[in-house]
Structure 1
Amino acid sequence: MTTIRPRRSVLYMPGSNARALEKAREIAADVLILDLEDAVAPEAKAAAREQVCAAVKAGGYGRRELVIRTNGVDTAWFGDDLGAAVEAKPDAILIPKVSAPETLDQIGAQLDSLKAQPTLRVWAMIETPLAILQAEAIARAARNPHSRLSCFVMGTNDLAKETRARFVPGRAPMLPWLTSAILAARAHGLDILDGVYNDLKNEEGFLAECEQGRDLGFDGKTLIHPAQVATANAVFAPDEAELAQAQAIIAAFALPENQGRGAIQLGGRMVELLHAEMAKRVVALSEAIAG
């Protein structure tokens, strides 16, 4: 099994806010997205870029995964964003509005020309109608190591804007898009993160959407406020009962009498080898969270 990195809580931090970047060192999010795009006014782009890259270079974020979100590839800021990000050496670069696999080919070539470190990954925002329609083709780019693609990030606010879909409890208008993106990501070995929840005062609604995202198959949720981190961390982590069940399945298949068997009975249930593989992932995720 490949190494699992927890991505339960993925917090956007405005790159133009120095205080927020400093405070982020103490927030219990698994991932910090240091944002140069939506959260930054045009006149502040250059200063934010310098500030974000300086923060990444300075470190002090502990185990948190650091991701820099650039401006779009069709903007005047992208080239400078990409070059500065490569020099800063975050864990990944998040590219907005990836709507075609050719965009990832272009970025892969640019990263090679910039001599980016081999470990630098590319994350892709899936936030346009065309991206949903081409989700599988975009995800397939991960088969080529040149693309560095490792994660999809849903941009549900932009999808709502582009489609005129309404935000309603249960997200019925968006469910076909979300599940299509999940299938595409899993078909090609990618992680995938759910979109943000906008109503900061509605804790019950946020909890319900986290649980829905987990049940759909997302690895975690993107967040817009530190107050959302604890809930996302709890929902997207295995609970005690799930962990105990996973450990029991692994232990049962390890018994001498069950060696080589494709299915066994455990607690009155039929359990197959595929359940053992799922159980191993649950245990590995729990161990990764514990550190």
Structure 2
Amino acid sequence: MNDTIEQSKRRPRRTMLYVSADIEKHMAKSAELPTDAVIFDLYESISAEFKQRGRDKLARFLKETRFRGQEVILRVNQIGTEWLEDDLRLAAQLPIDAVLLSGVKTGEDIREAAYNLELAGGAHLPIMSMIETPMAVLNALDIAGASDRLVCLAVSNANLMTSMRLPPSPDRTGLFTSLSIVVLAARAHGLSVVDGAHLDITDPHTCEYACRQSRDFGFDGKAVIHPIQLAYTNDAFTPKPKDVEKKLQIIKLMEDAIADGRSYAMLDSRLLQPSELDAARRCIAMHEAIQQRNKAFDKENDTYVEAVSR
């Protein structure tokens, strides 16, 4: 597995902002927003007659625009549609960080798309997959292990709820099993996993609740459909100072124990398990990566901004 894929798997994805590739003012604004990733959408946000116009607009925009370290992702049209081949050909030519596949139902869909992307010249690009149908959920483990270029699974709550014929529900009770299956599949193959967007942008309280619910399910982050959602979504998935301090304690205690020939340690009268060392190291690595991301939006640190911008 190459370094690009490994680095992609370790990136923060607390927020992934969807932006239509056909709306220039939204694309321009996205370059300055403190989102961990920007998903430029060629699929749901552009009607059939304007697909090529969207491709052309996006190509011009990315050629002329510098980003502040955001992960730049292209969401292509659904597998099996007439537009996918042109989307993959464009992806191979763009200065992007990953391709997000839509309409995936099986691991074979991933393998075929990866092969076609390679034929188009995009063998260097990491791949992500939407999980948006009951079939995709039931095949999530197969999908997650289908390619060593796959780095992330991304749920679409709206599409999944529609295809499952679920009524609208603020707590998403009907999705609990599906969300857990997707998280399990992603973790079984060492992938990151991102929850779907909260669609009500007028109520920050319900959005904040949805973010914390996603975090408690084990997601790394959540899709975002409006900049107003960024602050509390980023916050929900950012390790808090007290958590960082505790993880550093765990690392020190466990490393000292290992040096003494023991596989366990005690913290606040609690027995620490060996697996907690790995979890603590992951938390600290993510904390450090987030700190680096935040520096990109420090207006006084132009040197860093220049370094991480495209």
Aligned to 1:245: 246
Q: Distance in 1 between matches of 2:168 and 2:259?
A: 49
Question: Which of 116, 125, 131 matches 2:130?
Answer: 125
The equivalent residue for 2:273 is 272
State how 1:150-229 maps to structure 2 within 5 Å.
150-229=151-230
CA contact (8 A) 1:34 1:67 kept: yes
1:70 alignment partner, SS class: strand
Asked if 1:6 is matched to 2:12, the reply is yes
CA contact (8 A) 2:215 2:221 kept: yes
Inter-CA distance 261–131: structure 2 relative to 1 (3 Å threshold): same
Question: Which stretch shows the higher mean deviation, 271-280 or 63-72?
Answer: 271-280
Task: Give the root-mean-square deviation of aligned CA atoms.
Answer: 1.4
Q: Output the CA distance in 2 between the equivalents of 1:177 and 1:257.
A: 38
Aligned to 1:140: 145
Percent identity, please: 32
Aligned CA distance change for structure 1 residues 188 and 254 (closer, same or farther; 3 Å): closer
SS at match of 1:38: coil
Counting matched residue pairs gives 285
**1:111 is matched with which residue?**
117
Name the structure 2 match of 1:70: 76
Task: Please report how far the alpha carbon of residue 255 of structure 1 lies from its aligned counterpart in structure 2 after TM superposition.
Answer: 3.0
Deviation track 1:227-254 (CA, whole Å, cap 9, x = no partner) reads 1011111010100111010011112223
Unmatched 5+ stretches in structure 1: none
* Secondary structure of the corresponding residue to residue 16 of structure 2: strand
d(CA) in 2 for partners of 1:260 and 1:282? 25
SS at the partner of 1:23? helix
Alpha-carbon distance in structure 1 between the residues aligned to 2:238 and 2:161: 28
TM-score calculated relative to the size of structure 1 = 0.94
CA distance in 2, matches of 1:276, 1:5: 20
In structure 2, stretches of 5+ residues that fail to align are: 1-5, 293-310
| C-alpha distance after superposition, 1:135-185 (max 9, x if no partner) | 11111213xx3xx21111101111111111123122110000000111111
Residues 127 and 150 of structure 2 are in contact (CA less than 8 Å); yes or no, is this contact kept in structure 1? yes
CA apart distance, 1:89: 3.3
Tell me: CA distance 1:268–1:102, structure 2 relative to 1, closer, same or farther (3 Å). same
Distance in 2 (CA, whole Å) between partners of 1:158 and 1:224 is 15
The residue type paired with residue 49 of structure 1 is R
Which of residues 88, 96, 106 in structure 2 aligns to 1:100? 106
SS of 1:165's equivalent? coil
Secondary structure class of the residue paired with 1:71: strand
CA contact 2:89–2:121 (8 Å) conserved in 1: no
Query: Cα offset for 1:108?
Result: 1.6
Distance 2:150 2:82 in 1: 23
Residue type matched to 1:34 in 2?
A: F
**1:79 Cα offset (Å):** 0.9
What residue identity is the alignment partner of 1:65?
A: E
Q: 1:256 to 1:189 in 2, by over 3 A?
A: closer
- Decide whether aligned partners of structure 1 residues 257 and 274 sit closer, same or farther in structure 2, where only a CA change above 3 A counts: closer
| Kept in 2: contact 1:191–1:219 (CA 8 A) | yes
Name which of structure 1's ranges 99-108 and 215-224 shifts more when overlaid on structure 2.
99-108
CA displacement at 1:121 relative to structure 2: 0.8
Query: SS of the residue aligned with 2:31?
Result: helix
With 166-175 and 149-158 compared, the bigger mean Cα shift is at 166-175
Out of 90, 97, 103, the position equivalent to 2:96 is 90
SS in 2 for 1:280: helix
Do the aligned partners of residues 270 and 258 (structure 1) sit closer, same or farther apart at CA in structure 2, a change above 3 Å counting? Answer: farther
> 1:123 offset after TM fit, Å?
0.7
Which position in structure 2 is the counterpart of 1:288?
289
Query: Offset of 1:202 from its aligned partner?
Result: 1.5
Distance 1:255 1:149 in 2: 36
**1:57 and 2:63 matched:** yes
1:59 CA drift (Å)? 3.8
Q: Deviations over 1:117-146 (max 9, x none)?
A: 52x11111100111011111111213xx3x
TM-score, length-scaled by structure 2: 0.88
User: What corresponds to 1:259 in structure 2?
Assistant: 260
Check the 8 A contact 2:257/2:264 in 1, yes or no.
Answer: no
**Offset, 1:256:** 6.7
